[in-house]
Each structure stands twice: as C-alpha cells, then as structure tokens.
C-alpha cells in the first residue's frame, strides 16, 4: 500500500481561481467548486475531474462534500 502524492487532509488547500470558482487537488484527483447564480435557486456545483458530482446550496457544505469525495477516491485508490 502506497501513500498518494497529495493525500487528503483536513487542511486541503483550495485555490481561488475567481471569486466564484475554487480548485483543489488531492489523491490524484482534481476537485472544483463553481457558483451557479440563479436567484433563490443559486447553488455550488462540486466537480470531480471536470464532471459534476453534486450540488450544494452553501459553500461550506460544498467544501465538505468535496472533501468527502476526495477521501472516497483516496480509499478506492489505496485499495486498488
């Protein structure tokens, strides 16, 4: 079992691309957060390697979901 180059930690570093777009890389995966403005239906898209993995209404919820996805990717990668 090997440790990934960029393991998922509680302190995953998010890079602010714009005020409404963020990106992080860990466990060999790229995760993105992108705000979709739509009035009262506005939401944050969580993207895993460019594909939408889910939506959350709050930035902190989106970050938490993204972190969970990265942990699952790391676990899967380590088991392979």
Domain hosting residue 74, numbered range: 15-79
Quickly tell me which residue has 């959350």 as its tokens.
56
Could you read off the pLDDT of 44-78 as tens digits, one per residue? 999 999 999 999 999 999 999 999 998 887 776 66
- Dihedral, CA of residue 28, residue 15, residue 67 and residue 7, to nearest 10: 40
Task: Tell me how many domains the chain contains.
Answer: 1
Could you read off the pLDDT of 9-45 as tens digits, one per residue? 556 789 999 999 999 988 788 999 999 999 999 999 9
Chain-centroid distance of CA 20 in Å reads 14
Q: Against a cut of 0.85, is the pTM above it?
A: no
Query: Quick check: is 27 in a domain?
Result: yes
Query: Quick check: is 60 in a domain?
Result: yes
Query: Quick check: is 9 in a domain?
Result: no
Q: In this structure, are strands 21-26 and 15-18 parallel, antiparallel, or unpaired?
A: antiparallel
Query: Quick check: is 75 in a domain?
Result: yes
């Amino acid at each position: 079992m090997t440790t990934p180059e960029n393991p998922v930690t509680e302190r995953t570093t998010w890079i602010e691309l714009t005020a409404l777009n963020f990106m992080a890389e860990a466990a060999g995966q790229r995760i993105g957060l992108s705000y979709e403005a739509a009035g009262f239906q506005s939401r944050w898209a969580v993207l895993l390697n460019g594909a939408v993995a889910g939506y959350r209404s709050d930035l902190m919820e989106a970050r938490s979901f993204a972190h969970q996805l990265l942990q699952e990717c790391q676990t899967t990668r380590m088991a392979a």
